[in-house]
Structure 1
């Protein structure tokens, strides 16, 4: 029998491939297959007009917002920002056009006129946009209904059309479908369950029939006949749902589930990993050592040099922190070149030549042909967007848009594994033997839509626009269809202080959900159990500490913990300096620098201190907050110190010294020296809120000899013993004198004698006995003192 010429319409290319792979086994001629998007495009003609592509659309929209107060919509009219925000406007206009809803109708149901101003602005933009489209002879989906005609030439190629419906038809789409069905026999296959009643309600009136839940239907739209009505039954024979405290630990669960499914006899090609958030695929790729997966969404570009170089440059210029400079070094980028070619013009207007210089430099780091090809295509479109308008855009804004566009590039997944990783929409009209869904969390399920930006649910419901509830129901439909048609289901979710399981879970799954975290049961899959090697053995070394030049800090460290002294000053093991929160010394150093610069001025006023604080402005939010607090604190210090200096004179600032005491060298820097009558006053600024000064009683156990070091230096420099030593407590704006100076000088002499004695033989650098000393020590992990 001769094969009848039939066209099959599927939701996705994946569903076409799945259908064809099954039909090939039947040894027969295959029908023509096409996706629903392609079908709707090919089934219409546009009356000689051109279809508007994305780049042109953004330019037309940018033109359409002129002479409108777009800021009232919470959207910037600045072109670089509009490039990112224009989608909000377009999606709204597209939605109302697709549902054949007039803005005047929306206004009429807005009884309390909450949205009247927004709607008037959007109405003006829509009018302007459609005028521009008409003037330029373009058709967009927004004005499609006014111009399209059924493409009989295409439709007449087929004897009949069969459509697999999964999802939702807009009114415009269904109008096209109905017009086609009046000219060609057209049948539709669909499933019904409790969650897609609104989607299939368009068939109810046509067939005068209430379609039942949990049934599979085939209807003939041309003849208005129900061809098939088959009850659907679940085929699930295994269900598992697990919670994890970390999102990353779900990957271990995914791998374990794959092994479990394969061991049960399931073909790996019939296993799907479904990602509610497709960006998680990037993380899965990093752990895919076994090459299990193929990625339906393509592979992210973020592991390629093109993105990494672009991101590193943008981060460095936007925020000149140590970690960003280090990242440039790590990637082999010369900071001097970035400073000279890009940073220098960062706030200049961008030109084609400038963009060419920047992008050529970035491309030099990339050697993947596919990446470069897609990048060049992106640049072509970006040039149209940026330079086809009179708007002037700064280099920094162009670079931000460029980085955003680069991050959206995906690469074809070649040489991939058998297990498919895909997003929810890619599962339409496809059945798998095993389904693994991760991230079943409220953050990702239901997925939020940008279409709900301008109107409330109540108004959308009253005018017949899809509401957020309708979209949630459609997502539930997809998940239920997916889960009901598979044999084995594995679900994972994150359960911690900030994440909770989606409210959909209790609706979709009959099994009781165990709230216990399962991290420990699976963590061995991702992580090798390496025990930390602690430095517990005794450290003995022959070092002559009497030849060491001591600072007050190194001497205090030695007295507190000989092991810490050895690791820091002998082995010179330093902690990393890349941290979001500022180190304690950073703030202290800035305050010291400000006070030094202030007292070096001939004219002194608090406004100068404020200017000096501005000089140390930083992008680090934590340090900025601390500096603002200290700016206010120093006003009280300023008042107090002004009165003090009425009777004193500053004779030294940041005075460095190298002296000798009992045959041992000492060094340091004195913050400030005042002269009062015939006496010298040594002042050491302190920003700590827990400053304590030794008394005669507590001095016996003291480990802090900073002011004693300063006294010795002063005695050496000025040849006098008329010296008073103070800590200047900037937190409380008070002077705290070293009252036990003489006794502590005696103790210092004794301790130096001990150092000379122990330096004659090997020294044991033992750990400190007081574990409270270890609380903030950078070496506590090495020493097993956590």
Structure 2
């Protein structure tokens, strides 16, 4: 019974599954992801959360009401074009919100006035967007940090809350958890490294404990309610890691299979091995060569691989590019690539004609849904069909506010579907994941692919919008901060492993990441490229 009033908060659901597996024949304590917890811990009285589609509508209206947004920032005023170019606006405004910063803070930090005009326009767009939300008693992630209230009743349900921090928390989250620490016992679990000094300084600031108490390469528990710091373990520094370069990128897939087999032969269980992909698109190459079903892909499979997506994409591309399509049996010997693919998918000439004849005409949602159902009749994957029908609600929401041609609504739907993933089923026990998915996890065997300078570290779209100088002066997470955070993730993975290997492409266009110099790396020269290439033919 001692665990029933405790709550454990983790970065991701995979960590929760790992945590739950530790409890045998006893009650499992309550556990949530940090996102799930924040949804329950905050309230916005008198307002309702805006759905994604309507938030887009309001943002477009805000941009349209600020004339300079279109003229100077090239933000499309026409809704269809805006839909395809809106991500950076929401991302930028949300980052400001969770950082507890305003556009005015950025303008003040821009000492050379490089961005003054652009920031002034964005400030007007944001103000108008907030007005539109307030007028309809709505909120979203952009205004939440300004207007939320702490759900004290929910927080007090727990006698102790344990928060595991694997990277940065936003200023909004630090504010939230500092308030929670006044209502119940809050313990923060974390590790220290030369790469997460920003976290150490923040914890020292909010706890009042001198930063020198947070010794490097330790595991700690900070009771934020009582301001007590306890060291619970020591981390391994400068671990040994194998490194291997390949002139052909695809050979890294063979290396991953070979190293995984070696790790298993050395006594590591497959479930305790992870393959880390800085570029998750490499999963397609890995999947192509994984004939023995060694791997389980945590990121799932891209929806673009589904029959439904490929049919709709093929139809839309053929009509847009004015490709001749004649699916009659008499034309079979003369089929072009599009005709052959559509025929193989089971698309009839009548269905293609429905799209082509109405492509540039206004299309009601009911007519669009009827066409999608005809394609879904050709989709054998139940999960893909279910996911498609769920996404039709998004198209239906947009159709309430705007009229679209069949071409426009098809292209919007394809953009939306291309971002989806389906769970990977039928794979092996060796996990394949991106570095963010691996946060806070420990594996006995770690294999990192694509460790190249153009991929490690990754840059965010927001860092491309403002210079590092302005970001740092304004108190936003800067490029160096994000680089160090990624260094910390890789260091934690490799430091926690018994065996680790890194490979990368090395040719005229590719060089190893400069992060490689942070590790005690030795050349893995056991086999030549020919031996790895032979695995593809074995």
TM normalised by structure 2 equals 0.91
1:94 shift after superposition:
0.8
2:34 to 36, 45, 50: 36
Structure 1 pair 213–251 and aligned structure 2 pair: CA distance change class (3 A): same
Residue pair 2:201, 2:211 contacting (<8 A) in 1 also:
no
For 1:211-290, what aligned pairs fall within 5 Å after superposition?
211-228=214-231, 230-234=233-237, 236=239, 239-290=241-292
Q: Which residue of the partner structure matches residue 511 of structure 1? A: 521
Q: Does 1:389 align with 2:401?
A: yes
1:463 to 446, 471, 474: 474
| 1: CA distance, partners of 2:2 / 2:160 | 15
1:154 shift after superposition:
1.1
Secondary structure of 1:279 counterpart: helix
Q: Which residue of the partner structure matches residue 6 of structure 2? A: 6
| 1: CA distance, partners of 2:496 / 2:522 | 20
| 1: CA distance, partners of 2:504 / 2:349 | 42
Q: Which residue of the partner structure matches residue 327 of structure 2? A: none
Q: Which residue of the partner structure matches residue 753 of structure 1? A: none
Structure 1 pair 119–409 and aligned structure 2 pair: CA distance change class (3 A): same
TM normalised by structure 1 equals 0.63
| 2: CA distance, partners of 1:156 / 1:313 | 55
Greater length-normalized contact order (CA 8 Å, ≥ 6 residues apart): 2
| 2: CA distance, partners of 1:30 / 1:360 | 43
Secondary structure of 1:316 counterpart: helix
Secondary structure of 1:365 counterpart: coil
Q: Which residue of the partner structure matches residue 344 of structure 1? A: 357
Structure 1 pair 134–23 and aligned structure 2 pair: CA distance change class (3 A): same
For 1:283-298, what aligned pairs fall within 5 Å after superposition?
283-298=285-300
1:229 shift after superposition:
5.4
1:490 shift after superposition:
1.9
| 1: CA distance, partners of 2:3 / 2:468 | 50
Residue pair 1:243, 1:518 contacting (<8 A) in 2 also:
no
1:17 shift after superposition:
1.2
Q: Rg: which structure is higher? A: 1
Q: Which residue of the partner structure matches residue 60 of structure 1? A: 58
| 2: CA distance, partners of 1:429 / 1:227 | 19
Q: Which residue of the partner structure matches residue 434 of structure 2? A: 423
For 1:660-671, what aligned pairs fall within 5 Å after superposition?
none
| 1: CA distance, partners of 2:27 / 2:366 | 56
Structure 1 pair 518–314 and aligned structure 2 pair: CA distance change class (3 A): farther
Secondary structure of 2:442 counterpart: coil
Q: Does 1:410 align with 2:421?
A: yes
CA distances 1:323-375 after superposition (whole Å, capped 9, x unpaired): 4344334434345642x222233333333244234313321210222111110
Residue pair 1:8, 1:31 contacting (<8 A) in 2 also:
yes
Q: Does 1:324 align with 2:326?
A: no
Secondary structure of 2:244 counterpart: strand
| 2: CA distance, partners of 1:425 / 1:134 | 34
CA distances 1:79-126 after superposition (whole Å, capped 9, x unpaired): 222212211011111111111112122212223322112111111111
Q: Which residue of the partner structure matches residue 522 of structure 1? A: 532
Structure 2 unpaired stretches of 5+? 324-335
Q: Which residue of the partner structure matches residue 364 of structure 1? A: 377
| 2: CA distance, partners of 1:185 / 1:380 | 42
Residue pair 1:243, 1:517 contacting (<8 A) in 2 also:
no
Residue pair 2:243, 2:524 contacting (<8 A) in 1 also:
yes
For 1:483-632, what aligned pairs fall within 5 Å after superposition?
483-507=494-518, 509-512=519-522, 518-527=528-537
1:61 shift after superposition:
0.9
Secondary structure of 1:511 counterpart: strand
Structure 1 pair 449–513 and aligned structure 2 pair: CA distance change class (3 A): farther
For 1:152-191, what aligned pairs fall within 5 Å after superposition?
152-191=152-191
For 1:107-122, what aligned pairs fall within 5 Å after superposition?
107-122=107-122
Q: Which residue of the partner structure matches residue 197 of structure 1? A: 197
Residue pair 1:241, 1:513 contacting (<8 A) in 2 also:
yes
Residue pair 2:238, 2:520 contacting (<8 A) in 1 also:
no
Residue pair 1:281, 1:295 contacting (<8 A) in 2 also:
yes
| 2: CA distance, partners of 1:397 / 1:307 | 16
CA distances 1:599-637 after superposition (whole Å, capped 9, x unpaired): xxxxxxxxxxxxxxxxxxxxxxxxxxxxxxxxxxxxxxx
Work out the number of aligned pairs and report it: 521
Structure 1 pair 106–239 and aligned structure 2 pair: CA distance change class (3 A): closer
Residue pair 1:325, 1:335 contacting (<8 A) in 2 also:
no
CA distances 1:549-577 after superposition (whole Å, capped 9, x unpaired): xxxxxxxxxxxxxxxxxxxxxxxxxxxxx
Residue pair 1:272, 1:432 contacting (<8 A) in 2 also:
yes
1:389 shift after superposition:
1.8
| 1: CA distance, partners of 2:172 / 2:280 | 29
Greater Cα offset, 509-518 or 374-383: 509-518
Structure 1 pair 462–3 and aligned structure 2 pair: CA distance change class (3 A): closer
2:305 to 295, 303, 314: 303
